[in-house]
């Protein structure tokens, strides 16, 4: 079975631009979470979506937004990009929204802001 897939794998943008990152969860998984991993640090929670509803939001500015589609795939949007947004963006899926099941991560999208 395919794991969590993310696209694109790498992206280079300039300050002020916007970006859309995409994630397809493992088949049968209904919850998708997004994390930001800055180089040298642990991942930081951005959003969780379950059944197309936002279930949680981390401490990120309103420039960050996300949505989940009927097929449970998800997009993360970031507007007005700043140099500090350069990071690895990880998507994780799990079968349900609040279970004790582990989240399964994709390989991430590496975003570089020039």
Give CA 12 to chain center in angstroms: 17
State which of positions 55-94 bind other proteins (CB under 8 A).
55-56, 58, 90, 92, 94
Chosen residue from 44, 65, 73, 86 binding other proteins by CB under 8 A:
44
Please, what is the minimum distance in Å from the beta carbon of residue 76 to other proteins? 15
Question: 13: how many CB neighbours lie within 10 A of its CB?
Answer: 16
The reply on whether position 25 binds other proteins by CB under 8 A is no
d(CA 102, CA 39): 23
Residue numbers at the binding site for other proteins (CB under 8 A): 4, 31, 33, 35, 41-45, 48, 50, 55-56, 58, 90, 92, 94, 97-100, 102-108
């Amino acid at each position: 079975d395919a794991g969590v897939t993310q696209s694109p794998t790498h992206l280079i943008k300039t300050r002020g631009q916007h970006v859309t990152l995409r994630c397809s969860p493992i088949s049968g998984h209904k919850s998708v979470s997004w994390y930001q991993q800055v180089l040298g640090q642990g991942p930081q929670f951005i959003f969780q979506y379950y059944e197309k509803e936002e279930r949680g939001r981390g401490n990120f500015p309103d420039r960050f937004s996300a949505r989940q589609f009927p097929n449970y795939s998800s997009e993360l949007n970031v507007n007005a990009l700043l140099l500090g947004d350069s990071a690895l963006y990880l998507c994780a899926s799990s079968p349900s929204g609040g279970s004790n099941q582990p989240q399964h991560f994709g390989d991430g999208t590496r975003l570089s802001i020039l």
